[in-house]
Structures are given as C-alpha cells and as structure tokens.
Structure 1
C-alpha cells in the first residue's frame, strides 16, 4: 500500500491495472495460505517425518509474510486490499468510492480462485489418494462445529470472524492514514494477519477474507460450501463496523491544530 489507501485511486493507474494488481495480490496471498495448509502444515503425518510439518505457526507466518510482500509489490498500484472485507471497510471509512467496491471484490475473488485452482492442479500429481483425501477434509476450507479444528461452534466462528476482520481493517486504516500513516505499514499489516491466524486457526481455520474462503470451499466438501456464508457475511460485517467507527472516531478534524493555526495568524 501507499501511505494512504486512496492515493492509488487518484494516481495514474487505470481501473484495469488496479484490478489486475488486486487479482495478482489476492492470488499470491491465497496461494501462500492454502499452499502452506495443504502441502506443508502436516507434512509427514503418520510417518517418521511428522516433525517436518509447519503446523499452525507455519500457516500463520505464511499468511503474514505473503501479505507483507503483496502489500509492497501491488499496494502502490491498487491500494493493496486483497480482501473483500478490507475493501468494504476502506469504503465505509470514506477512503474509496462505493461504486468501485464490486469490481475490487470480483477481482479479489478471481485471484483467490486462480490460487486454489493451482493448488488443485498440483494435487492432481500428488501421491495416490492424496488430493481426494484433502477434498474430503475440506481442502483447507473454513468451518465450525465438526469442521472446526478444535470443535468450536457457529457462535465462535461468527464472533471471531467479525471481531478479527474489524481488527485487521482498523490496523490497515491506521497505517495508511494520510497524516498518521507509516512507511512500515506493510510490515505491521503482515504481522497483524499472522497474529490473527495464530489466534483463530484452531477455531475455524482463520478466514477474515471472503475471497480466501470462497476459493477453498469451491474445491472442498459439501460441508465447506454450506458453511461458507459465515465466512463471507461476518468478515464484511466486522469490516463495515470498523470502517464506520474509524471514520467517526479517528478521522475527525484536529481542532487543536486548527486553533493553533488561528492563533498564529
């Protein structure tokens, strides 16, 4: 991302270029998360090489590192959302026009689907039965109840998806603020996503990104598809609340600065 999320909208990039950047960034992010979960998280399970798997910590780090990378690579072009919930939150905060939201969301979902399709194609050439077993398990899809890694129910999934999507959006709005933003925004945002994954991977396999959830549910089992609505609706609800809250609480004019300027004049 640039210093402010809306800077890219006012720059020289055309809408087509920005959407392409969002699709590429979303694809890289989903590829890192799903690839880590599918190929590396449980590597060697049931064999003498079990300890070579990266587990939840590895998935969380993959998510954080990937977001940091695409933040700096594509953020200056598109604003660096790579997540429909972030796009909605940014619009709610007044950083981009609502009319651009559908195109961004579509591009992000296409990017995510490209990533999960690539994982699927790689799996076709895996060991016999490997791909079918991963699909039966859900293809790294998000889920609750029986589909939750630790058996958490629907209520837990709703709360954590809304809450941590809101946290992610608040951090992004903060680090990309036109006045208070920081050049280390990509690092901060990546660390935030990694921490979010560390907390909620056991609960519902960590979404906070509808594009990521859609991308895996398409190749998962029936349960992944029937539970998908939770991971589309509630990250967006949390992002909306965060965007409106940030705009009302933190994007208000600094009266002390105005008063000082008036005194100086």
Structure 2
C-alpha cells in the first residue's frame, strides 16, 4: 500500500484540527457546561480513528513537536520538515474554525485564566495536561511496539486525556492543551484583547518537551536501551500523579463530571503504561495482584517499591493541586449525612470492585479483556465515584487517600484518616484476591500462562 502524499496528510491534519476547534467553540458558545469536555474529546476521537491512517492524526502542534523531539532523541517520531508543515496546517485550521464558529454564533469568547487565577496557575495546568496528552499519544500510537502489535484503543486513550483535563484543569485555564486551539480562540476574539495564546503556547510546548523526555524514560527499548526497575517505578509514579492531580482539580472546581473525568485519567494512563509496569497506580491493586499469586514477577519487595512510589506520586500531586488552588485543600471522612460505618462499607466494597476487575481483565488468562482492559478498569472509578462519592468521597486508592490527607494537614486536617481509608481499601483488595482465586479456581490449577480449552 502506497504512502499518502504530503498534500493528503496536510489536508487530513487541517480537517481534523478544524473539526476539533469548531467543536470547542460550539460547546462554549452554546453553553454546554456539563458535557462540553466529552463532546470535544469525542470529536478528537472520531477524527483520530477516521484519519489516523492518513496523517497519524496529530491535530495538535504540541503532538507534532513531541514526535519531532522524540525522533531527535533517537526514537520514533517525525522529521522536523513534516513537523513544521503539520504545525502550519493545524494552526491555519484552528484560526479558520474559530472564525467560523464566531460567525455562526455572532459572537466569540476570549482566552484567559479564570477569575482568581494567574498566568502561572493557568500555565501549569496547560503544561501538565498537554504533557499528559502528548505522553499518551506517544505511548499508545508512536511506540515501536505499535508497529507490530496494532491496538484498537489508541483513539479512546488519547481522547480520554481531554476528558481528564477538561473538567478540573479546564476550570482554571479553559483547557486548551493545544496551540492550535489557543491561537484560534485568541485570533477570533482579537477585538476583546490578544496575547494570552502566546503564554499558553509556551507552556504547551514545554509540556510537549517534558512528554518527549518522559517517553524516553519509560520506553528505553525504543531508544536502544534496556528496561529496568527504575523504568517501572517512574511509570507507577507518573500514572498515580496524573490520577491524583485529576482527583484534586475536579473536587476543588466542584465539577459535575468529576468521577468520569477521574476515570478517564485512569483509563488513559492504564492504556499508556500497562505494558511498562502493569499500570497499577494504586497500592490496593498492587496488594490484590500480589495476593492473587498470578504474577510471579511481582515479588513482595517489588510490590513494596511500587506502593512507595505510588504514595509519593499521590502526595506530589496533592501538593500540586494545592499550589494551583493557592492553599485550598479538602479532607477525608464521611460526606454529608453519612457515618464512618457507611464509609467502611463504601470504601471496602468499591475498592473490591476495582481490584477484582483488574484481576479479571488484566491478570487472568481466561477472562482477560485484551483491548478493553483500560476501559473496564477506568469504568470502575466511574461506578464507584458516582455511587459512593456522597458517602466516603470514593477514594478507592491508598495513594489518593494519603495524598489528600497529607495536603490537608496545612489546613488543619487529621492525617490519621488516611490510615483508616487505607485499611478499608486494602481489606477490599485482599477480599478481591480471595474471591478471584475461587472464581478462577480451574485456571489456578494450570501452569502459568495455560488456559483449559
């Protein structure tokens, strides 16, 4: 099959970016507050699946720059000429789309940090979630393993990073994560003021550079080096960090889609790093896998190291969202009219659900969901978050619990609550491992990796 021409690739990049930015504008001007992030993310997803085979479906200068930097470092990516041409097509599409939605609605909207936040707060959000977006792109679509093991989840994984960032970070910066989006918005509202796009683009390109560096760390085999335990520990830290950061930003912004946004963050990072470290991002999950006895490579020592970096990632993320919100935090404990008895049941049951699903779809050879594992695991957070968010807050993860409790100390929070939550979550994890051994009894009796027909 012949390679698409450069003209075909540029047309694909223009069309995909145009539809993405046009959808952004229509959602904002149409007042679609709750579902805007999902609509924009799904516009990106359908365009990725439609045009990925033509141009690679970058639709974002930050993605193209990350690919260029990766190649410059000796890994997979794009040459700088293609990066430049792609960025030009994407930027032109962003401006054209913004002009079109402004004409359609007869008005435009300006780009700027939300009231009460500075350029640094907004820029930090743009940096971190642009990094997340481009990092996931590199891992699910650009890593060399994709040349031989084609996956079908790449579009979902990439789009869900937008859902993750749109609700929490979006409440601060507007949630661009894309220089073409920032430029288009700024140009279309030029009579209301111009210039914030330049600030945003700087932070977004910094996020792209960070993603390229992190990609090299977690995929050393793509750069001629060997994978080590450090690679896996970095993977666990990064996944947990982005998960807990998304938790905190959603809670502090009082997002109506918090559980789904948090679940989307988990889904994206599981797909990105599942084949690097197993993508636990949760000490309870690590305990459940260790207790299941189905992963001999996960020794008690390695499990301890995983749990340590997961908690460190959670704490680091908690202080990040605290800094962004200028000292605001929140604590653990019964929500509303619930009691500690309610918290005990809620955290134990839904951590059980999460850990049991992980064991079934990612560990078991009999019931493994080869392409949908990340979606299934992330969906557990949607289930638990909405089901028990009004009872316990829906932590389901000791790294989340320790992160929340640690940051809340500065506002007089009681740290001991993290130990209560962790005990309940580990209890749920152990129960999940026990039930898994019962439900998968036949598989347990077979040699590792063998499944009875």
TM-score (norm: length of structure 1): 0.76
After the TM superposition, which residues 42-53 of structure 1 pair with which residues of structure 2 at under 5 Å, given as runs? none
CA separation in 1, counterparts of 2:325 and 2:386? 26
Hey, which bits of structure 1, 4+ residues long, moved more than 3 A?
221-224
Computing the radius of gyration from Cα coordinates, the structure with the larger value is 2
Assess if the C-alpha contact under 8 Å between 1:142 and 1:206 holds in 2.
no
CA separation in 2, counterparts of 1:37 and 1:194? 14
| Structure 2 match to 1:23 | 237
| Structure 1 match to 2:227 | 13
Higher relative contact order (CA 8 A, sep 6+): 1
**Per-residue deviation at 1:21?**
0.1
After the TM superposition, which residues 102-113 of structure 1 pair with which residues of structure 2 at under 5 Å, given as runs? 102-113=304-315
After the TM superposition, which residues 238-253 of structure 1 pair with which residues of structure 2 at under 5 Å, given as runs? 238-253=428-443
Per-residue CA distance 1:132-172 (angstroms, 9 max, x = gap) = xx3xxxx233212xxx2x22111111111111111111111
CA separation in 1, counterparts of 2:227 and 2:321? 30
Within the alignment, does 1:201 sit opposite 2:399 as a pair? no
SS in structure 1 opposite 2:243?
helix
**Per-residue deviation at 1:123?**
2.1
CA separation in 1, counterparts of 2:375 and 2:443? 28
Of 423, 438, 441 in structure 2, the residue corresponding to residue 233 of structure 1 is: 423
| Structure 1 match to 2:301 | 99
| Structure 1 match to 2:333 | 143
**5+ unaligned residues in a row in structure 1: which ranges?**
2-10, 42-53, 125-130
CA separation in 2, counterparts of 1:246 and 1:197? 23
Assess if the C-alpha contact under 8 Å between 2:398 and 2:421 holds in 1.
yes
Assess if the C-alpha contact under 8 Å between 2:331 and 2:413 holds in 1.
no
Per-residue CA distance 1:92-118 (angstroms, 9 max, x = gap) = 111232232110000101111111111
Per-residue CA distance 1:165-217 (angstroms, 9 max, x = gap) = 11111111111122321111101111111111001110011111010011111
Per-residue CA distance 1:224-252 (angstroms, 9 max, x = gap) = 42322221111001101111220232142
SS in structure 2 opposite 1:143?
coil
Of 352, 360, 366 in structure 2, the residue corresponding to residue 179 of structure 1 is: 366
Distance 1:36 1:254, change over 3 A: closer
**Per-residue deviation at 1:223?**
4.3
CA separation in 1, counterparts of 2:251 and 2:320? 14
| Structure 1 match to 2:250 | 36
Within the alignment, does 1:188 sit opposite 2:402 as a pair? no
**5+ unaligned residues in a row in structure 2: which ranges?**
1-139, 141-220
Distance 1:246 1:110, change over 3 A: same
- CA RMSD, 1 decimal: 2.5
**Per-residue deviation at 1:254?**
8.6
Assess if the C-alpha contact under 8 Å between 2:315 and 2:407 holds in 1.
no
Assess if the C-alpha contact under 8 Å between 2:233 and 2:277 holds in 1.
yes
Assess if the C-alpha contact under 8 Å between 1:112 and 1:211 holds in 2.
yes
SS in structure 2 opposite 1:202?
coil
Assess if the C-alpha contact under 8 Å between 1:157 and 1:230 holds in 2.
no
**Per-residue deviation at 1:89?**
0.5
How many residue pairs get matched? 220
| Structure 1 match to 2:354 | 168
CA separation in 1, counterparts of 2:284 and 2:436? 15
After the TM superposition, which residues 101-140 of structure 1 pair with which residues of structure 2 at under 5 Å, given as runs? 101-124=303-326, 131=327, 134=328, 139-140=329-330
CA separation in 2, counterparts of 1:152 and 1:110? 30
Assess if the C-alpha contact under 8 Å between 1:21 and 1:77 holds in 2.
yes
